[in-house]
Amino acid sequence: MNRLLTAALGLAPLALLLALWQAATTGGWYTSVLLPPPIEVARVFGAQWPDLLRHVGASLTRVCVGLAIACITAIPLGLMIGRFKWLDQITDWTIQIFRSLPGIALIPLAILFFGIGDKPAIILITLAAFWPLIISTIFGVKSVERTLLKVARVARAGDALVLRDILLPSALPSILTGLRLAAGAGWLTVVTAEMMAVKSGLGYYIMYAQTTFRAEEIIAGIVTIGAIGLLFDQGIRLLRHRICRWQEGLVLES
């Protein structure tokens, strides 16, 4: 019952938007060539779903590969930087500079270097996901309770054990928050990159629809992107719930 209510509340603004959209088309505020009615968009899903699915698959693969690379590199590096002060001092400015560069700004450079295809897209996604991940990992390590490190020192725990059994689990909630941000950034980047640097994926689908002047396809693409973004986010929340069970009752639900 509670779940149903949550779903209903979450969907309410979307339903309102849909109603407004319907009203706008039936009221004729825009010509239906620019703003097709919802039913037209639904028809796109009905007719082109194999095609759409293929593009979704292409985009998802890129995002997942990019995120995975970012996780493999950013999390260990972040753990080290958070642990060792001198590493933090060396890297702090560099991280601050690079993280404020929008990934989109690097698209032209990526195309120059890697041409058109999966490579530039994945590299851009990795970069976009890398910064929020490394920053939240560093933050998570730094906010470990001091006493716990003292416990480890008195017990003469080695660096590897401290990293694996104390710093990583202590930073995990923060890392997962970073992963949520990273997934968002990665998703944003993939669509943009696909508009310019690749010939498949949802970004490409939308751009192609624009050149053929098919507004209903553009909107179908946008709806798909939004839906996947929501699913991704929910998935990571679920993951956080699973692996941070020890946190329950300690912190406010996030």
Partner 1 sequence: MSLLELDAVSKTYRRGQEVVQALDSVSLSAGFGEFICLLGVSGCGKSTLLQILAGLEPADSGAVQIEGQPIAGGHPNASVVFQEHGLFPWMTVERNVEFNMKARGVGAAERRSVARDFINRVGLAGFERRYPHELSGGMRQRVGIARALTTRPRLLLMDEPFGALDAQTRSIMQNQLLDLWQDYRATVVFVTHSVDEAVFLADRIVIMSPRPGRVRSIVPVALPRPRDRADPAFGQCVGEVLGLIHDDLRHLMGA
Residues that bind partner 1 (CB under 8 A): 145, 147-148, 150-158, 161, 165-166, 169-170, 172, 244-247, 249-250
**Minimum Å distance from CB 168 to partner 1?**
10
Q: Is the Cβ of residue 71 or residue 162 nearer to partner 1 in the bound state?
A: 162
Q: For partner 1, give the closer residue by CB, 120 or 140.
A: 140
Nearest to 62 by CA among 131, 133, 111, 127: 127
Query: Sign (positive/negative) of CA torsion 118, 124, 125, 126?
Result: positive
> What's the closest the beta carbon of residue 182 comes to partner 1, in angstroms?
22
**In the bound complex, what is the minimum distance in angstroms from residue 253's beta carbon to partner 1?**
15
- Give 92 or 165: the residue with its C-beta nearer to partner 1: 165
Looking at beta carbons only, is 150 or 199 nearer to partner 1? 150
Write down the residue that tokens 């909630």 correspond to: 173
Give the closest residue to 127 by CA, choosing from 73, 172, 175: 73
CB of 152 to partner 1, least distance (A): 7
The distance in angstroms from the start CA to the end CA of the chain is 21
Instruction: Using CB atoms within 10 Å of the CB of residue 37, give its burial: 0 to 12 exposed, 13 to 18 middle, 19+ buried.
Output: middle
